[in-house]
Structure 1
Amino acid sequence: MKGKIVNKAFWKDKRVLVTGGAGFLGKRLIPKLKRLDANILVPRSKKFDLRKEEDVDKLFKTFLPDIVIHMAVDGGGINYMKDHAGSIYYNNIMVNTLTLEKSRQYNVKKFVGIGTICSYPKFTPSPFKEEDLWNGYPEETNAPYGLAKKMMFVQTQAYREEYNFNGIHLLLVNLYGEHDDFDPEFSHVIPALIKKCVDTIREDRDEIVVWGTGKATREFLYAGDAAEGILLAAERYDKSDPVNIGAGFEISIKDLVDLIVELTGFQGEIIWDTSKPDGQPRRMLNTSKAEKEFGFKAKTNFKEGLKKMIEWYLNNESKK
């Protein structure tokens, strides 16, 4: 099945509030919305603290959105998740709860909640199906983040049941691409590995250290494809069940390291620090529902996407 195309007529002049729109995914979503002639507001945290009800109320009262795409999040790589479990849970649960409640109070026509693969149970059979979501506890490091996101899904379903509120919940895999966060404290595995390889080459060192055994598998979706999936779901999907948004493949961390080493030209030694955690053993989504319900299918070849990301890093971040 060929992927559907976003309908410009749907978005023209719609008032679209995009929380987290200044972040990595937002940098791919906002230009698409601009090309669709939507009226967009991206709230900045200096002006609107989404953990505070008075700020969220002021935001909605000022803009009166038709559609809310809720992407604001406190999260990061495995180390950040481990060190900030409490604040991650609090920040996400507050922001999600208030944004959804104000969407209801101000009669938003469509709420698109961006969830995460981290909400799935630790030992979910791969590929993960949406009906597996409640079959166990998430991987421990990701649990505070994943469960806060899962509560947003519960709230969305409850609001549909009681208030007939049109909210949907999308479960995204880890994203990658240009404009990703390469800060070692916050970065996920791909930007962390690219930075290690490029910086090690530039500093004329001969080894990189990688966490874990390399056996864990992950799925990665190009951020531009994710933005397309979100827009298609906002247009075409109006059901209470969650939907996976992914690329439909998995790669071991070892194979990922080998690929990034090849693409960056790193020729030194790879040291595996097996005292560090692997995280969830396997991660890959079954993406058939997204294709069936609203015609989303990822387009970007993984190796080509990585090449673009590495080129962007070489031309931007690595010179800082």
Structure 2
Amino acid sequence: MSAIDKQSKIYVAGHRGMVGSAITRRLQNDGYGNLVVRTHAELDLLDQARVREFLGREKPDYIFLAAAKVGGILANNTYRADFIHQNLVMQSNVISGAHEAGVRRLMFLGSSCIYPRDCPQPIREEYLLTGPLEITNEPYAIAKIAGLKMCESYNRQYQTEYVTVMPTNLYGPNDNFDLATSHVLPALLRKAHEAKLGGEKRMVVWGSGKPMREFLYVDDMADACVFLMEQGVRNGAYNVGTGADVTIRDLARAILETVGFDGELAFDASKPDGTPRKLLDVSLLASLGWRAKTMLDEGLIKTYQHYLSLNQ
């Protein structure tokens, strides 16, 4: 039995983003009929007064806090002040506003980048704050660590039930395919598609291709989030991933095959690699009965189909 009644009022913050839209789809498909969503134009989460007024008026039973300023290595390293400021303000407004409105259960979406750069692999939840962060995304990581600790602190002081999930690298429908601000997978997918259309002989990939990354299809992430809420998990922090990783070189090869581009791969070693490896230990979540279902090859096909639909 689910710990959530189907008519519970559920607020999904960031419902137009990749993760928020997947959570919204999942809830709707499961018959949750009392969802509350607001666009940025309707509710600016940087505006504390408006957030407090909204939450005080709506009084949702549950909140999925998926709203965030996100981007790839270039965006994170370029707009460092924007990433730390906007994420700190948004999450603080929602978490504190939720408490003031009497919302007992909230899920905060963190990130696997909160862990130290040179973490033992696979990364367990208790490795948090045991070493220096990766410098290229340090401001974003610090904001997400603050959100996790804010949830912990409200739970301890006010007996709220705020849970944090730390996803690995996500991809899928509604991803950002802008080459200047996107993450590695959607950026490579777009570059491969454009190289194919342009009749190019090769595709250039940033970095050496040696770093290893784990990729989770976004609908699996949504499934994990709803699973934890339905299980009645009341506190703690949980890694969410597949438990397997690939090199950026092998990812690029898989993307070329998905797109149907038969050119060569070239690597620009003058560009940063970022963290050498970032594989999550997902045994804590697995012990509750959840595992990812979508294999990378299947997820790439679905994501490419979505990308093609955007350009029809």
Provide TM-score, normalisation by structure 2: 0.96
How far the C-alpha of 1:9 sits from its partner, in A, is 7.2
Output one character per residue of 1:214-259: Cα deviation in whole Å (capped at 9) or x when no partner: 0100000011110000001112253543110111101000110111
Tell me if 1:241 matches 2:236.
yes
Give the 3-state SS of the residue equivalent to 2:110 in structure 1. Answer: strand
Match of 1:41 in 2: 36
Secondary structure of the structure 2 residue equivalent to 1:55: helix
Q: Which residue, 266, 274, 282 being the options, matches 1:279?
A: 274
Match of 2:310 among 278, 293, 317: 317
The yes-or-no answer on 1:124 pairing with 2:127 is no
Superposed displacement of residue 131, structure 1: 0.6
Change in 2 beyond 3 A, CA 1:126/1:9: closer
Determine the structure 2 residue equivalent to 1:19. 13
Q: Equivalents in 2 of 1:305, 1:137: separation in Å?
A: 32
- Return the match for 1:158 from 150, 153, 156: 153
Two-structure CA RMSD over aligned residues (Å): 1.4
- How much does 1:306 deviate? 0.8
Match of 1:257 among 243, 252, 257: 252
Match among 89, 95, 100 for residue 95 of structure 2: 100
Q: Distance in 2 between matches of 1:59 and 1:288?
A: 37
- Residue 296 of structure 1 is matched in structure 2 by 290
Equivalent residue for 2:174? Answer: 179
Question: 1:8: Cα distance to partner?
Answer: 6.0
Aligned counterpart, 1:29: 23
Code of the residue aligned with 1:108 in structure 2: it is V
Q: How many residues align?
A: 311
Task: Report the equivalent of 1:4.
Answer: none
Q: Are 1:137 and 1:143, in contact at CA under 8 Å, matched by a contact in 2?
A: no
CA contact (8 A) 2:4 2:229 kept: no
Identity of aligned residues (%): 32
State the shift of 1:318 in Å: 3.5
Shift in Å, 1:26: 2.2
| Aligned 8 A contact 1:247 1:287 in 2 | yes
Deviations 1:128-179 (A, max 9, x none): 0001112112211111111101101111111111111111111111111122
Segments of structure 1 that go 5 or more residues without pairing to the other structure are 1-6
Question: Matches of residues 57-72 of structure 1 in structure 2 within 5 Å?
Answer: 57-72=52-67
Q: Does 1:214 align with 2:209?
A: yes
Contact 2:20–2:67 (CA<8 Å) still a contact in 1? no
C-alpha contact 2:3 2:229 (8 A) present in aligned 1:
no
Contact 2:113 2:141 in 1 (8 A): yes
